[in-house]
Amino acid sequence: MLEELLLIYPELTLIFAICAVLVADMTLAKRLPAINYYVSFVFLLYIGYCLAHRTPVNVHENIFNGAINVTSYSQIMKFIATILMLAITVQSKLYLGYIKKAGCEFYVLCLINLLGIFVMVSAGNFLVLYLGLELVALTLYTLVAFDREAPQSSEAAMKFYVLGAVASGFLLYGISLIYGATGSINFAEVSLFYGSGSPPQLLSIVGLMFILVSVIFKFGAFPMFQWVPDTYEGSMLPVGMILSSISKVASFIFFVILLRNIFEALDFYWMSTMFVVGLSSLIYGNVVALRQTNIKRLVAYSTIGHVGFILIALSLYGDSGFSSALFYTVTYALMAFALFAILIALYIQGIKVNSINDLKGLHASQPILAMMMLLTIFSMAGIPPFIGFHAKLFVLQALLEADYLMVAITCVLMSLIAAYYYLKIIWFIYFESCKHYVKPKRNAANILAITSSVGLLLIGVFPAAWTQFLFSINP
């Protein structure tokens, strides 16, 4: 029993961290207002350190009667999620301090969100998977509505909650049908049942289709994307950072566990569906983004386009599809984080960016942040030598290996369309007259924005270690 508990030390540490933040808020917050942040920061730093240095090589343990699977893949994904959440926590503290909002609830919700990801990536049966998924979803619903004074936040949260509840219902119904067909909720037993070679029952196929609906919703892909633009627009900047970065990593984990691991033997039924969904998302997201002037809605629709790349890669046979999809997901999470980090830094400088028109002449008043925006936008557009170029290139290589030449050409054309609306932002920053002049101020928010943006360039110029690390991950 003790050995089993030691294998789930990241989850146990997170639970203790949540309790510690709540206790610190009740006892020390009046004397030390930032105590909640520091407790969260220290625990996240400790968890990241432990995952990096104390994870056994090639570990694969089934504990608690198969309810939890601890593998090298799960530990690496936990490490990636922890580092992202650590960076998000730092930038969020600066934002919340600027708008003078209490951060205890925010940090607790972030920790619970991370706990949900940990539970989900180590799930060994459908009930544990659903528990982790709902921890992630419920915290996101609450975070979107965190700014109670903004009507848009409440509206976006309500829409997100209702549609999310419907998607969860589809998932539960699909799980119940799979249980009816296989007689088990254990991943290993279900996978073994479908891998036996016998043709799947109609009940299994229908259950899989219900589960696919939930997967599509969690990714925010076409046609279950309606919540994405409204949620991005209505939420605070740190919440948008969470939705566009670590939330996409969680969706990727959800996809891989369900379809790549459990229903791999039924790939004939889900690969073609996800391929069409991915291609539709790629086309729809990039085309609709052309008409957007609100910066958050533009990012939201461009995210749908990026999700299309990920789903197309995931729907391909072989390890190259999975590796390129994982590379794209983590790379996009870093790019989205960098973009929102810059927007937060601008907000703290006194420049509230709602429309791309608010970026006119930014180089004149904020030359450093304008340059960081240029680096980030170039990476998101897939312009070499930035890391975004490598992410797109690996997906195109996987498509060509699978003899999908026309799909690869379509991806290139959509990337050109995306480059147009991304470069339009750069045009407003550097080639339009200055809308307002705000004297640059030195603050910590600039440091993280600069670090993340320059990191996109450095990883792109020297991609070997980054590529080797991500391509070595195998679920």
pLDDT the model gives residue 117: 94
pLDDT score, position 56: 58
Characterize 302-324 residue by residue with b for buried, 16 or more Cβ atoms within 10 angstroms of its Cβ, and e for exposed.
Answer: bbbbbbbbbbbbbbbeeebbbbb
Low pLDDT (below 70) residues in the chain: 1-3, 54-58, 102, 435-438
Amino acid at 198: S
Q: What is the pTM of this model?
A: 0.94
The CB density around residue 185, as the number of other CB atoms within 10 Å, is 20
- For 54-71, the pLDDT digits (tens) are 665 567 777 888 888 888
Query: How confident is the model over 203-260, as pLDDT tens digits?
Result: 999 999 999 999 899 888 988 888 999 999 999 999 999 999 999 999 999 888 888 8
| Angle of CA points 472, 48, 307, to nearest 5° | 55
Per-residue pLDDT, 1? 63
Separation between Cα atoms, residue 473 and residue 414, nearest integer Å: 28
Residue 244 to residue 304: CA distance in whole angstroms: 10
pLDDT (0 to 100) of residue 294 = 92
33 burial level (CB within 10 Å; 0-12, 13-18, 19+): middle
